[in-house]
Amino acid sequence: MIPTVPASEQHALLAEFEALYRAQLGFVWRSLRRFGVPDAALDDATQDVFVIVHRRFGVWDQGGSVRAWLYGVARRVASAHRRTDDRHQRKLAALPTNDAVEGLEDRLGAREQLEQIAAQIEALEPRRKQVYVLIELEGLSAPEAAEAIGCKLNTVYSRLRRARADLDAALTSAASPQHDPPHARESRSHDRTG
């Protein structure tokens, strides 16, 4: 429990604190700067020191030097500020960089392309799709696919060739400007005109 201080002593302590603040402000500020507190944080750190001093004023050992006491408080405040700044820098370093964002955009673009290809494969005629999936996606040879399906080898080659042609045509037409949404065509025309 903190003992209550009579009003007359409070006024005297406040006057002493104000005198200490005016006399030692420069010393504390310079000490914090020497401890490595960044210029942008010096005023805040100085305030932190004097908040601590105000809270403990009158309790500290007055047999010692005031400057030594202020120096110790400033050292601890500077250390806390450096730890806070280090934590902040680590958090900033953990954020994705522009390269990571661009890589994400590339992956999203690649994913959209894969989804488009998958949709076009699904749209193939069922017998062509079956041959295409077995050979191109599952890695079976044409003779293995013919055996798995139960049809002639030349039929498998014919279905594969036609599936590839159908897929190529579908993907080419999907990539052409006439299949773009209207806003995409408008933005491209604005890009060309200026």
Q: Could you state, in chain order, the average pLDDT of each consecutive group of 10 residues for the chain (194 residues)?
A: 61 85 92 89 93 82 78 92 87 73 70 85 90 87 90 94 92 69 47 44
Architecture of the CATH domain 106-193: Orthogonal Bundle (1.10)
- Here the tokens at position 139 are 């890695």
The CATH code of domain 7-94 reads 1.10.1740.10
Q: Which pLDDT value is given to residue 188?
A: 46
Q: Which pLDDT value is given to residue 25?
A: 93
Q: Which pLDDT value is given to residue 194?
A: 41
Q: Which pLDDT value is given to residue 57?
A: 77
Residues of the chain with CATH 1.10.10.10: 106-193
Q: Which pLDDT value is given to residue 185?
A: 46
- Here the tokens at position 79 are 């250390």
Alpha-carbon torsion (128, 134, 135, 141), positive or negative:
negative
